[in-house]
């Protein structure tokens, strides 16, 4: 074998080795990037699912208590209201309204599986951001995302709306009021037809639920109110 052939083979072997190393390096690099993408995607999905679970708990809290949990810029404190009946001062309104709303609490609305408040942090172990203005029918829940810094494009934000719940409650109240008013008019008609003075002294709407003159026995049925 000539010296020229040996040199050619040596050069070819070296170039091949360099190419192989380069290809392997690129493969490893691509594999790492792909793994990172898959992991990040999985963490985003896990965070979204957890946020949806929290959102549902917040909506159910609103359904029972006519408000979302109080916002004190501390989700560990605020979201505890979803697990344990809050103190009266955690509710909105007058003292009597606060007591009423507290009595309607029917949780828990979320389960802390490991008793470590883990659901208050996203997949990157960053606390969720919760924002609610008293009296509003919506609130927002935010994860700062993979970069752990809120206000960037990778944030994950969910707006939790209770508008449908609110409107449904208004509809039911209107139906009940219409029903009560119809019964009041019925009672008024009975009095007038009997030649008696309307309204009688001391009459109140609550009397429609009890025996009250002109053979009226509970014109407003409690079962009907519950049904409405």
- CATH code for the domain in which residue 127 is found: 3.30.700.10
pLDDT for residue 166: 95
Indicate whether 116 belongs to any domain.
Answer: yes
Query: What's 217's DSSP letter?
Result: B
pLDDT for residue 210: 63
Indicate whether 23 belongs to any domain.
Answer: no
User: Do 66 and 98 share a domain, yes or no?
Assistant: yes
User: Do 120 and 61 share a domain, yes or no?
Assistant: yes
User: Do 124 and 178 share a domain, yes or no?
Assistant: no
Low-confidence ranges of the chain (pLDDT < 50): 3, 8, 114, 212-217, 221-228
What's the domain range around 95? 48-161
- Total domains in the chain come to 2
User: Do 52 and 84 share a domain, yes or no?
Assistant: yes
pLDDT for residue 195: 86
Partnered with residue 140 across adjacent β-strands are 131, 159
Indicate whether 29 belongs to any domain.
Answer: no
User: Do 55 and 88 share a domain, yes or no?
Assistant: yes
Global pTM value: 0.73
pLDDT for residue 192: 87
User: Do 131 and 214 share a domain, yes or no?
Assistant: no
Indicate whether 128 belongs to any domain.
Answer: yes
User: Do 153 and 59 share a domain, yes or no?
Assistant: yes
User: Do 106 and 182 share a domain, yes or no?
Assistant: no
pLDDT for residue 43: 85
User: Do 72 and 134 share a domain, yes or no?
Assistant: yes
The length of the chain in residues reads 228
User: Do 101 and 73 share a domain, yes or no?
Assistant: yes
Q: Residue 38 and residue 45: Cα distance in Å, rounded?
A: 11
Dihedral sign, Cα of residue 167, residue 172, residue 173, residue 177? positive
Indicate whether 200 belongs to any domain.
Answer: yes
pLDDT for residue 188: 85
Q: In terms of C-beta distances under 8 Å and separation of at least 24 residues, what long-range contacts does 34-38 make, across chains too?
A: none
Q: Residue 125 and residue 166: Cα distance in Å, rounded?
A: 34
User: Do 139 and 204 share a domain, yes or no?
Assistant: no
pLDDT for residue 177: 86
Indicate whether 39 belongs to any domain.
Answer: no
Question: Of 112, 135, 161, which closes a domain?
Answer: 161
């Amino acid at each position: 074998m000539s010296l020229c052939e040996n040199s050619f083979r040596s050069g070819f072997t070296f170039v091949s080795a360099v190419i192989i190393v380069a290809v392997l390096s690129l493969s490893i690099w691509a594999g790492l990037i792909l793994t990172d993408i898959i992991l990040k995607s999985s963490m985003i999905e896990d965070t979204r699912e957890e946020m949806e679970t929290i959102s549902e708990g917040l909506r159910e809290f609103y359904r029972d208590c006519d408000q979302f949990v109080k916002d004190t810029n501390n989700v560990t404190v605020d979201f505890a209201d979803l697990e344990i009946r809050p103190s009266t001062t955690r509710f909105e309104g007058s003292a009597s309204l606060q007591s009423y709303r507290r009595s309607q609490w029917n949780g828990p609305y979320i389960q802390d599986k490991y008793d470590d408040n883990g659901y208050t942090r996203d997949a990157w172990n960053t606390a969720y951001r919760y924002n609610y203005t008293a009296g509003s029918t919506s609130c927002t829940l935010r994860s700062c995302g993979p970069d752990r810094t809120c206000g960037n494009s990778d944030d994950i934000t969910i707006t939790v709306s209770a508008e449908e719940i609110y409107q449904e409650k208004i509809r039911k109240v209107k139906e009940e009021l219409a029903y009560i008013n119809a019964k009041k008019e019925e009672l008024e008609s009975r009095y007038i037809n009997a030649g008696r003075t309307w309204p009688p002294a001391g009459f109140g709407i609550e009397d429609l639920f009890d025996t009250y003159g002109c053979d009226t026995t509970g014109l407003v049925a409690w079962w009907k109110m519950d049904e409405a």
